[in-house]
Structure 1
Amino acid sequence: MRTQEGAFVVEGTHAVRDLLTRSPEQILTIVTAHGYLPKEAESDRLARQVASIQQYSCSDIQFSKLSDLDAPQGVLAVVRQPIWDEEEILEQPTLLGVFGEQLQDPANVGAIIRTAAALNVSALWLTPESADVYHPKVVRATSGVLHRLPIFFMRDVSELIRQGCRIFTAEVPGEGTIPIDEIRTVPRKFVFAVGNESRGLSAQIRTQATTRFTIPLSREVESLNVAATVAIATFHFSRLPKSQ
């Protein structure tokens, strides 16, 4: 239904406030519960009133049926799914991208989107088997930044390579891998790939990588959560100089 309608639901006071402030043109409808209105902050009420947006109010019981939360806050927005130009992004002279292969945990996907948006990643690519980026759990985990990060779907990294991107892969230590802190420069256009929460990256993607890196860990810890891996790697790579 989300795909057919080209829309998704954003719930909660903070998330709706952020949309009204930053992207009011993306909001199709706002729904409030009767019990929310007396508690609504004056600034939020004024922001809703001045917005040229279709709005409805319903009983708390009706709202609870619309909500995906166990304890609804009483306000939600139906929002347009953003549309991005993938060709335009791939034509940029510099690019830092993230590729996720079969990332199936909505909380992880949401956290990755939030991190990537915060650290100015150019775009996120996901394989079709990954979690729906407009799933309510993903939307909540993004904390309202879905409209700030271009997201595309791609089966593998072959097209990225054809577009001039170098591929880095995040892996467990093994033959051919290097610690991330030994990487001192990065290409002008590159994408680093992370794999499925339990299986990691496929051999196909690992063999297409120009750099295979690991994140050094304590001996007592076997691996990192994939969202933590993306956060550490993005922060590290975004601060490195570009190679000539």
Structure 2
Amino acid sequence: MDIRLIRSNQNEQYKRWRKLHRRKGRERYGALLVEGPHLVAEAMDAGWKVRACLVEEGKEGLLEEIPGIREGSFPVYRLPVPLFRSLMDTETPQGVAAELEIPPLGDEEAPPVGETLILLDAVQDPGNLGTILRTAEAAGAAAVFLGKGTADPYNSKTVRAAMGSLFRLPVRRVELASAILDLRRRGVVVIGTHPRAETLHFCYEYPPRTAFLLGNEGRGVDPDLERLVDAQVRVPMPGGVESLNVSVTAAVLLYERLRQKWGKA
């Protein structure tokens, strides 16, 4: 394995990696940085293209924890401790990172239709988005659609919270109003949530093809989108709190959906 050395923060490669901390930079270069042997291995196993691997000086042994790293066709760069850690945004960097090529988010493709879908309207917190992605994959959802105003799925907080699910679960950027109408034409029943909905989420019988529409952490779902759904359900909160975190709501709905499905099996 050929390991190249970078020692200066004036190195052009280093300066480009720094720009990947921002969404503008990720979009410009079509790439993101992921940190840690586990996430790098997850990305490689899912077939994502690695443009470069970075290793902290003195921790080259961590490369052995990543299957296929020696056979990779990408360059490996060794960086001094201060330089490597300046590229990471965690308090205790894990010694290995990779630059990944971002695949198309499928804007131009017909969104996939499966038994269960998640539609997100302006979910702004990257951690919430990552948790939703991980929960959606765990519960067997077919895809997650990201509407306008939703956090960047390649934000480092999203990537860490998703813990590898981002690399396996289909994620699509869509115009939600058009997507909802299209899904309904294709036989998908779109379900929204509302604190004053008459039907409790565990009393609604979810059809074979169901999409859950979830909204912004502060204002909820855009009223124009609410008018397009087939039905609304309410998650009961007898404890008196006003609302649940959007990622918790997603989990509650997904697993009630799964309970009903498996209960009929």
Taking structure 2 as the reference length, the TM-score comes to 0.80
1:125 is aligned to 2:158: no
Give, as a single letter, the amino acid of the residue that structure 2 aligns with 1:129: G
* Distance across 2 between alignment mates of 1:61 and 1:27: 23
Alpha carbons 1:177, 1:211 under 8 Å: kept = no
Given candidates 200, 208, 224, the residue that maps to 1:179 is: 200
Q: 2:102 aligns with which of 62, 81, 86?
A: 81
The answer to whether structure 1 residue 29 and structure 2 residue 52 are counterparts is yes
Aligned equivalents of 2:220, 2:67: Cα separation in 1: 48
Size of the alignment, in residue pairs? 234
In 1, the alpha carbon distance for the partners of 2:193 and 2:169 equals 21
Show the 5 A alignment for 1:198-213: 198-213=218-233
Query: 1:33 Cα shift?
Result: 0.5
Aligned ranges 1:36-47 → 2 under 5 Å: 36-38=59-61, 40=62, 43-44=64-65, 47=68
Give, in whole Å, the separation in 2 of the partners of 1:67 and 1:126: 26
Q: Does 1:56 align with 2:80?
A: no
CA contact (8 A) 2:111 2:172 kept: no
Q: Output the amino acid matched with 1:87.
A: A
Asked if the contact 2:41/2:66 (under 8 Å) is kept, the reply is no
Cα offset, 1:241, TM superposition: 4.2
Amino acid in the other structure paired with 2:55: T
Contact 1:101 1:201 in 2 (8 A): yes
Identity rate, percent: 27
1:14 partnered with 2:35: no
TM-score by length of 1: 0.86
Mark the runs of 5 or more structure 2 residues left unpaired by the alignment: 1-24
1:2 to 26, 33, 40: 26
Give, in whole Å, the separation in 1 of the partners of 2:247 and 2:103.
23
RMSD of equivalent CA atoms: 2.3
1:45 Cα deviation from its structure 2 partner: 6.0
Deviation at 1:104, TM superposition (A): 0.6
Q: How far apart are the structure 1 equivalents of 2:174 and 2:220?
A: 17
Aligned to 1:216: 236
Hey, what's the Cα distance between the residues in 2 that align with 1:177 and 1:152?
Answer: 31
TM-aligned CA distance change 1:228 to 1:46, over 3 Å: closer
CA distance in 1, matches of 2:84, 2:105: 32
Deviation at 1:32, TM superposition (A): 0.3
| CA distance in 1 between partners of 2:248 and 2:87 (Å) | 32
Q: How far, CA to CA, are the matches of 2:182 and 2:164 in structure 1?
A: 33
Q: Show the counterpart of 2:87.
A: 66
Structure 1 distance, partners of 2:242, 2:215, is 16
Give CA-to-partner distance per residue, 1:213-240, whole Å, 9 cap, x none: 1112232332211001111111111343
1:98 and 2:118 are equivalent in the alignment: yes
Code of the aligned partner of 1:15: L
Q: Does the aligned pair in 1 maintain the 2:123–2:151 contact within 8 Å? A: yes
